[in-house]
A = this chain, B = another copy of it.
Amino acid sequence: MVEGPSREVDRRGLHSILKRRGFFWPSFEIYGGVAGFFDLGPLGSLLKDNIERIWKQRFVVEEEFLLVDCPSINPEAVFKASGHLEKFSDHLTRCQDCGVPFRADHLLESLVKNPDTLDKEELEEALTQYGVACPDCGGKLGPLEEFNLMFSTHIGPGNEKRAYLRPETAQSIFLDFNSLYRFNRERMPFGVAQIGRGYRNEISPRQGMIRLREFHMAEGEFFYDPEEDTFPRFERYRDKEVPLVPNTDPERTISRELGSAVSEGIISSRVMAHFMGATFSFAEDIGIPKEAIRFRQHEASEMAHYAMDCWDLEVSTSWGWVETVGIADRSAYDLSQHSKGSGSQLTADRKFEIPVERVINRLEGDMKVLGPVLRSDAGAVMEVLSRMDPEFISSALETSETIPITVGDRTVEVPSNGIRIVKGTEKVHRESYIPSVIEPSFGIDRLMVGLLENNYREQAASPLSDDESEEPYRVISLPPGTAPIKAGVFPLVNKDGLPKIASEIDLKLKREGLVTYMDTSGSIGRRYARMDEVGTPFCITVDHDTKKDRTVTIRERDTGAQVRVGIDDLPELLNGLIHERVAFSSLG
């Protein structure tokens, strides 16, 4: 992740502003802090809200993803089936002198390319080869252990019901597939979205907001029929040109229209390409400049255990190119796993207007034989047989008199002569299948960092004539839609009734749902500076003319341009400016 050219941002300077001005700060500071946990302060929380609102507008309202909201605590069975219990782990080594634990691949970052793709043996080899010692005390490192990254807990009294905090919001969507498919009136394809927290018990996180143990995510799971050829909504993004770093040539960034990237085989499907387009547009919408974005394809060894293919949207930051969104092709992996794990079929139906011929190869029970022997179990056994793979018992059928079949939590011995294998072809009107899944998964915290760093600028000389400080003048040029505060409201002086008018305007704008900040202290220049530093796009000043003609000035942050407008037009005008229906340059 941390590779490539890093943006030249004074990270320390910016992040100290972000802390002081209430974007984010380390959690539990009065208790000494805990690595990997951050609080969003008042401006960070509003920024996150705005990003999530824009995400919902694109994915939930316009792409019609069904929004769900499920528990973050999940019982063990869920992660046993999903593979996280077995595979969601990192390799840990502890210093044998000071006892500090390290993530083995992180110790190799400056020595080996993509150390996170190495397996246990390769990591051990590389650590030995490069003679890596404890970076804290120089001590000898201990043997590698697999450390599962899920936080574990127990539900209810006693320790019998083990559970984990979700490492991703996706799993609950897969569990609910049948309910969601029914809710969608059994129509395919459809998407499901969830916004919420993910948890990852990192061994030793040391990268601020980039590597968190508790983080904010927004995920979409788009379920579709892999045999369906058409995907009309791709039209929306077919001509969109994006920068790509395919895994066939990871040193080079190429630029392609998404449609061409699919036809050239660079991107594996139109569904994948569609969500890459939607993701790129979303990143632009919230205000990350195009030049700071690229798509990088995972190398095979780098992919999560559930992924067939994965493209990351990376943003250029002071940490280098950082993965902020992963768009993974999870194929039928998860629905298959949970079907097996739970015994519930998670499938959709494919309907044919003209029946199609299908090769069949399945087991059937013979009720005449099974009924008298199995009595009340016969029905359930018939059902289980119809879902079993014939290969599984075909040889046993010839050699054994009975076959053990699991029904619920019991095993029933079923006479072989009551089971037959049916092969051949048949015409079907419908058949069930396991849908494929494309998952765009967004890391909201990283998006915030990328957004803030790429919109931050310092001017050596302060434009405030009355400012004698040595501090550079700082501006965060957030677009109006993402800016935490939409407008500052200032009375020019604190007398002559101006504060009262300003306060009425402030309240009126708040009642319209706009977050405003009334500021009565310091020079107007100082008040502009406070707002510029936190990304506020507009400032409204009430002056003596306001009392004569009920007009105020609006100033635009990036140009410093000012126009006079009527108080009564303000709510509608500001709403227009914020939703970018009105251009500031068209006023006055």
Contact = CB atoms under 8 A, between A and B. Distances in A.
Interface string A53-71: 0001100111000111111
Contacts of A541: none
Given A29-B175, A73-B214, 15 more contacts: A20-B182, A27-B172, A27-B175, A28-B75, A31-B342, A35-B156, A37-B73, A38-B71, A42-B68, A61-B514, A151-B155, A153-B165, A156-B202, A156-B203, A156-B204
A213 interface: yes
Interface string A12-39: 0000000011100101111100111111
B176 A39 contact: yes
Contacts of A303: none
Given A157-B203, A175-B31, A201-B156, A67 B39 contact: no
A539 B409 CA distance: 48
B92 A67 contact: no
A147 interface: yes
Contacts of A21: 183
Given A68-B41, A69-B45, A62 B31 contact: no
Contacts of A410: none
Contacts of A188: none
Interface in A261-311: none
Contacts of A176: 25, 39, 41
A232 interface: no
B67 A45 contact: yes
Interface of A: 20-22, 25, 27-31, 34-42, 44-46, 48-49, 56-57, 60-62, 66-75, 77-78, 92, 94, 101, 145, 147, 151-158, 161, 163, 165, 172, 175-176, 178-180, 182-183, 197, 199, 201-204, 213-214, 216, 338, 341-344, 346, 507, 510-511, 513-515
A545 B257 CA distance: 42
Contacts of A56: 49
A142 to B, nearest CB: 12
B101 A338 contact: no
A178 B151 CA distance: 30
Given A57-B513, A74-B28, A77-B31, A42 B151 contact: no
A92 B510 CA distance: 49
Contacts of A341: 31
A42 B70 contact: no
> Lowest 8 CB-CB distances: which A-B pairs, in order?
A40-B69, A42-B66, A30-B342, A45-B67, A30-B344, A22-B183, A39-B70, A45-B69
